[in-house]
Amino acid sequence: MGVEAIDQHTPQLGPEGIGLAAMPTALALVECASPAALRECGSRLLRDSLGLAWVECLFVEGSGRWLGRDHGEGRLDCDDFRHPYAHAIRRGAPLTLGVAEARTRLDHPDFQAQVAALPGGLRLQIRPLRALDGQREWLGALALAADDEAVERLADDAGFAAFEALLCRLWARLARSQGERQRSAALRESLAKLNDGARRQKLAERLAEALLGDSAAMQRLRSQVIRAAETNLAVLLQGQTGTGKDCVARAIHRFSARAEGPFMAINCAAIPEALLESELFGHAKGAFSGADQAREGLIGQADGGTLFLDEIGDMPLALQAKLLRVLESGRYRPLGASDERCADLRLVAATHQPLRERIRDQRFRADLYYRLGQFPLSLPPLGERREDIATLAQAFVADFCTREGRDEVGITPAALRQLRQRDYPGNVRELKNLVDYACAMSPPGADLDAAALPAEASETREPAAEAPLAAPSVAVDDLRQALRDFEAELIRQRLRYFDGNRALAAESLGVPKRTLAHKCRLLEVDAP
């Protein structure tokens, strides 16, 4: 804001005023870039020119209820008449009183702390400040302390009045300008978050092709994977065996800035301890018996990309220390080599081991655990997302048909029902193995049926045909599902009674055959 921006009606400072040269004063105030800087500059100019014992400029906060201070703690309630600022603002006029009188009559602790160091013989003057435009909003208050003569002289000083008017005009304009900038910044930030959220949502939808499932747990996991991929932090994947840690690691690499680089993976539990160090760090020629030529390890091969260490909980302690150095410095030394090498890689580690327990047992380094866990991710077991079993099973059937060159087939409702009922200690991997076995046992072109599933998965939990319908359980906590289960069981019993004849079963239930067929599809009920 330049000097020409000052309103032409602002009173001009003159040499007969408070002793401030007009142009230097105006320039000092106009060059202030913020209301806080303006308040500090104005207080300093008044204090230096008049030799006042104390000058402080307080501001009204956005709510209009509180007076804040640029220096010092505490804020003052504009409706609390235990301090003089409330009196001056409510009156809309300056308030003058002695310091000794203020200490006796006004007991606000923050105000008393402000004036504690002032001599009792001085006079206080509190001047409320308002914007000099059409809005006339309160800006704050100017507090002065001086002897009686100096305070009385201010009342008729035209230069002081001009200074105060200039201070208020500049303050109001800077406050409005700052508010507009803050609103613009907030708007830009909101738009950026909105665009960023939309971008992440699109990436998560693409990720659904690799990490299947519409359950809340999988949606949350996909969102976390996208977040992890945007960083270069080490990721620690924890979850039961068969939950898909390898798939998640590959997804993190695929959606990261290192996607064009290599993805190297190793299972630390599958390689003997004597060979694991060589696999990771590589070796020089002649490093050990049989090392006829130099070999680059996985750390070197992963340079510029991602290294996935599966089952890191089984890594020997000696190798853990060497891996920690790679993570902290990016440097490593192959076996038998004399020189160190550098590797720029992103590490993703996975384990089903309870690492905290292994730390207590001194089988895993605590410093490595905290370095690996910069971005921890927990993979949900299949038992916590049973609603995804149908989607996964259908995808595994399609994958089997593609691998074996068979025509595409489906999966019957009875088979899906029995797959949902099964416990899965092996999680998604176990489900895939079950589906592959059942597909292999099914005739080509035939849908996968419950009869093709292994015996422990095909044991039905339905009551015998002659058994009466079970009474509703008092522990029902989902009425809709309970009604669906009861209706499905009734239909199954009627179909068994009529040897699968849907026409007779529908007639006995008093519904059209088409309605019964629709309910059978909806409730996944098959004819016996």
pLDDT in tens, the chain (528 residues): 333 333 433 334 433 444 444 556 667 888 888 888 998 998 888 888 878 889 989 988 866 788 888 876 678 888 888 899 988 988 888 999 999 998 888 888 888 888 888 998 999 999 999 887 655 678 889 999 999 888 888 888 888 888 888 888 888 888 888 766 666 666 666 555 555 667 777 888 888 888 999 999 999 999 999 999 988 899 999 999 999 999 999 999 999 999 999 999 999 988 888 789 889 999 888 777 777 788 889 999 999 999 999 999 999 998 999 999 999 888 888 888 888 888 899 999 999 888 999 999 999 999 999 999 899 999 999 999 999 999 999 999 999 999 999 888 889 998 999 899 888 989 999 999 999 999 998 888 889 988 888 865 334 334 334 445 555 555 566 777 778 888 888 888 888 777 777 877 887 887 888 888 888 888 888 765
Would you state the CATH architecture of domain 479-523? Orthogonal Bundle (1.10)
CB-based contact 280:328 (threshold 8 Å): no
Q: At what angle do helices 389-404 and 413-421 cross, to 10 degrees?
A: 120
pLDDT at 431: 94
Residues β-bridged to residue 335: 283
**CA–CA dist 58, 333 (Å, integer):** 63
Positions of CATH 1.10.8.60 in the chain:
383-458
**CA–CA dist 131, 451 (Å, integer):** 85
In this structure, which CATH number among 3.40.50.300, 3.90.1660.10, 2.60.120.260, 3.30.450.40 belongs to the domain 3-180?
A: 3.30.450.40
CB-based contact 446:409 (threshold 8 Å): yes
> What residue spans of 97-157 are helical by DSSP H?
99-105, 109-115, 148-155
Q: If you classify domain 216-380 with CATH, what class do you get?
A: alpha beta
**CA–CA dist 175, 168 (Å, integer):** 10
Question: What's the distance, Cα to Cα, between the start and end of the chain in Å?
Answer: 87
Q: Is the torsion defined by CA of 445, 450, 451, 452 positive or negative?
A: positive
> What residue spans of 270-316 are helical by DSSP H?
273-281, 298-301
Cα–Cα–Cα angle for 236, 237, 242, rounded to 5 degrees: 155
- What is the distance of C-alpha 205 from the center of its chain? 18
Positions of CATH 3.40.50.300 in the chain:
216-380
**CA–CA dist 397, 486 (Å, integer):** 30
**CA–CA dist 67, 84 (Å, integer):** 12
- What is the distance of C-alpha 410 from the center of its chain? 40
**CA–CA dist 390, 209 (Å, integer):** 15
Would you say the pTM of this structure is higher than 0.75? no
CB-based contact 443:481 (threshold 8 Å): no
Q: Which helix (H) or strand (E) holds 349?
A: strand 346-351
CATH code assigned to 383-458: 1.10.8.60
pLDDT at 6: 37
What are the φ/ψ torsions at residue 411 (nearest 5 degrees)? Answer: -140, 135
Q: Which residue, among 406, 434, 407, 410, has the nearest Cα to 420 in the 3D structure?
A: 434
